[in-house]
Amino acid sequence: MKDVWTLKYRPDTFDGILGNRQTVETLTSLTASGSLPHLILFGPENAGKMTAALALAKRLYDDESELNFTYFNASDFFEQGKNYLVRDPRFYRLLGTDDPKKIQKSVISIFKDIINEYAAIAPMNADYKIICIDSAEALTMEAQQALRRIMEKYSKTCRFILSSKSVSKIIPPLRSRGVTLFFSPVSPDELVPFMKEIAEKEGFGVGDEVLFEIAYQTNGNVGNSLEILQTALTDAQEAGTDLTVSMIQMQFRLDEENGITELYKAAARDKNFMEARNKLDALLIDDGLTGSEILEGFEIAAIADEKKSGDEMKTAKRLIQIAECDGRLAQASNERIQLENLIANFDKEKSCE
């Protein structure tokens, strides 16, 4: 089985992280200060949040990282529930069974017990240990309240890192107890050389125009870019052909019936707010998309619309509205309110406020 490039080439130091230099410099300063606060890392998927958390642990603990750094994924807890818990060998002693039907406690009670137990374990040859909770947006309100109390209880010997695609889904009391750092998508100027170097190490030749197309289509998502690159190069090799821009575009061709396209059509073309709101609910609740992911799709749809209409001025106004709403999402306590405001005011003189 071939190595997955996203894992094989994941950096383990701050210097290897692509983009987000200001955020990385802040993390470097915090680790050097000797008094690391709780951290909340937020930004789109595969922007470097978990890579930064692992690099931080490596810098603090070196070879003892595994002893002092514990990782949990909140979506595993609260979306897969007991079926996930019985598969993780770390929890067997606490659960006492590998049959989910025999577990009497609720998932939230088990979550509290597990976090409490791990937070209470003394650090090894260090002043404090780190518990990292990925996909923190999946934590229920009750779980976040419990986590707040645990953070207070073990503040002297344990630090928490919360990683989330949406900081607005983290309750204010949790946000106020940590330093919040934003991770943005990586620019093509950094992503393209990174992909080219990896392709050459793996024995592949690929043109810069193909790599720029991948970076554009993935919106600077490093993980997705490497996955697409590895798959596309392997397929091209098996077919005995060179990888081309058109082959990449074929993989990313938008389905005209996808939910975001329908939402955009209802808001921008039909001006049907009720229909747009229903489609927005479907994307947020049924599909589980974040506000940022919806806005990324909106941007792609607006650019595609401009190619058909040729109205650059209207497209520019729409993109400004999308950008303004994206900025507000970073500080909003409710994504849905901001997105509803956007679709209600789309193409009007005022953008979402």
* Residue recorded with tokens 């070196």: 62
Residue 233 domain flag: yes
**Which of 153, 182, 211 is the last residue in one of the domains?**
182
For residue 288, what are the CA distances in angstroms to 137, 191, 284?
A: 11, 27, 5
**CATH number for the domain that contains residue 114:** 3.40.50.300
**Are 22 and 113 within one domain?**
yes
Cα distance between residue 159 and residue 172, in whole Å:
18
**CATH number for the domain that contains residue 308:** 1.20.272.10
Q: Which of 38-47, 94-103, 126-135 has the lowest mean pLDDT?
A: 94-103
Mean pLDDT of the chain: 86
**Are 160 and 49 within one domain?**
yes
Please, which pLDDT band fits residue 310 given cuts at 50, 70 and 90?
Answer: low
Residue 179, strand partner residues:
39
Cα distance between residue 176 and residue 194, in whole Å:
36
Q: How many independent structural domains does the chain possess?
A: 3
Residue 353 domain flag: no
Domain of 242, in residue numbers: 188-252
Q: Which amino acid does the sequence have at 126?
A: A
**Are 247 and 128 within one domain?**
no
pLDDT digits (tens, 9 = 90+) for 185-226: 899 999 999 999 999 999 999 999 999 999 988 888 898 899
Cα distance between residue 175 and residue 44, in whole Å:
18
**Which of 137, 156, 182 is the last residue in one of the domains?**
182
**Which of 155, 182, 209 is the last residue in one of the domains?**
182
Give the max Cα distance, the chain: 65
Q: Residue 182, SS3?
A: strand
pLDDT digits (tens, 9 = 90+) for 223-253: 889 999 999 999 889 888 999 998 888 777 6
Q: What is the mean pLDDT of residues 117-132?
A: 92
pLDDT digits (tens, 9 = 90+) for 139-171: 989 999 999 999 999 999 999 999 998 888 888
pLDDT digits (tens, 9 = 90+) for 311-337: 778 888 888 888 888 888 776 667 888
**Are 19 and 109 within one domain?**
yes
Question: What is the rounded radius of gyration, in angstroms, for the C-alpha atoms of the chain?
Answer: 22
Q: Where are the alpha helices (DSSP H) in the chain?
A: 5-8, 21-32, 49-61, 65-68, 74-75, 82-85, 92-95, 107-120, 141-153, 172-175, 188-201, 208-217, 222-239, 245-252, 259-264, 273-281, 291-309, 312-329, 335-345
Q: Are 325 and 350 in contact (CB under 8 A)?
A: no
Q: What is the mean pLDDT of residues 116-137?
A: 92
**Are 123 and 268 within one domain?**
no
What is residue 309's predicted lDDT score, i.e. its pLDDT?
62
Cα distance between residue 353 and residue 341, in whole Å:
7
Task: Report pTM.
Answer: 0.72
Tokens encoding 250 = 């074929």
Residue 57 domain flag: yes
* Residue recorded with tokens 């939230």: 108
